[in-house]
Structure 1
């Protein structure tokens, strides 16, 4: 016999794909909407960070107690997984027909934008993938692209891992840059100036790294441009695999 709590969680994840959401075991009939609960939780995470999300903080937005929310979401980890999948809903875009690189770029930039809109998504480790339908949509779409452009089965798994890792890393950097205020930028510049002053032969010591060309003229655009360039290189590599 299966785990009833796990089954209830899966039913909540797949509620818009044919699964029946479990109702309260006792007490009054369902009064809250799960989508509204998750949207409230996502707004808290977007505004204050993932650490601010708790069943209590989400319930407070509805004037409810934490206990009143448990029948709708289960445990806190269940809540986070439901949020993760809900926030990962895949937008619509046409697959470019001009080549593998362009198709992969469209997929990668769409996922990048999703992570940038919800920076906490990249904080959730891969070991805590929700296994929900929205996250599964991204993987299926990516594999369809790789199959469409005849990428070998041997290269597909590596391409998937590389693309997800690159998107997450660049999105995390973009989120960190977005948090930098004027003081943070000035502090960064002061550190650079201090290094040049204290270590005047820094460039001579590290000639290759100090002569490395930037991926973007504006450092704020570097994460996205780095992603685009990385996808181009990956497409070239797997095309020849």
Structure 2
């Protein structure tokens, strides 16, 4: 297994004709394919077809599909447009999470990669630097600040994925089964929770993230 991150590997020169593409073009083609058809569609063969070339030519730029996924995730992280750090730490971190959520809803394949892969490339490192700058005056130790960054990424991805699943009909199917479970009468606590007092509206994205961050870093 390759242990050197794709960003630290030299592009292979290959034999014969000079390379006609760039790693950036390969990454852009993979992102366009995932946006259009979903993450399972992303393969070396399909990305090569997007570029009008053979799959073998992609190995000048990446060694595997895993490289493509890492490049895709980091490339999207380059779309953050964050203000210079300053002022209270919580609004600064919430702005990172808000923009992250927007990017994940725009690229519906992204939450899965954030939750299942730990790649950290150039743009992701810039984002980590920004978060640490926002927290530079916070009394928490470095370990807790790094933990906060990891939790921000994971929580934002999980909540974005929940929104995407709701839009796909998953929530309706869950609701139908819960109604069946209540009727069956074998889950009294669940029945009480769902049929007792009027349900309080679900907290907003920002409310949830704020409560978690305050729990981690609250002074």
Place the TM-score, normalised by the shorter chain, in its bin.
0.7 to 0.9
Structure 1, 64-73 or 185-194: larger mean CA deviation? 185-194
After superposition, the C-alpha distances for 1:147-199 in whole angstroms (9 at most, x for unaligned) are 1444443532332232222112111112212222xxx6654443344334332
Corresponding residue number in structure 2 for 1:198: 184
Contact 2:85 2:134 survives alignment (8 Å): no
CA distance in 2, matches of 1:90, 1:204: 42
Query: 100, 116, 127: which one pairs with 2:89?
Result: 100
After superposition, the C-alpha distances for 1:19-57 in whole angstroms (9 at most, x for unaligned) are xx5352311012123222211111111222211111100
- Evaluate the alpha carbon distance shift between residue 67 and residue 172 of structure 1 in structure 2; reply closer, same or farther with a 3 A threshold: same
User: Displacement, 1:128?
Assistant: 3.4
Unaligned stretches of 5+ residues in structure 2: none
* 1:1-241 alignment runs, 5 A limit: 9-11=6-8, 22-95=11-84, 97-124=86-113, 128-153=117-142, 155-180=144-169, 187-199=173-185, 202=188, 206-207=192-193, 211=197, 213-216=200-203, 225=204, 227-237=205-215, 238-240=217-219
SS of 2:135's partner is helix
SS of 1:124's partner is helix
Aligned length: 217
Corresponding residue number in structure 2 for 1:17: none
Structure with more helix by fraction = 1
> What's the TM-score, normalizing by structure 1?
0.74
After superposition, the C-alpha distances for 1:89-133 in whole angstroms (9 at most, x for unaligned) are 142132575522211111111112222222322222667333310
CA distance in 2, matches of 1:121, 1:36: 19
Pairwise CA RMSD of aligned residues? 3.2
Contact 1:101 1:231 survives alignment (8 Å): no
> What's the TM-score, normalizing by structure 2?
0.81
- Evaluate the alpha carbon distance shift between residue 164 and residue 195 of structure 1 in structure 2; reply closer, same or farther with a 3 A threshold: same
Structure 1, 153-162 or 46-55: larger mean CA deviation? 153-162
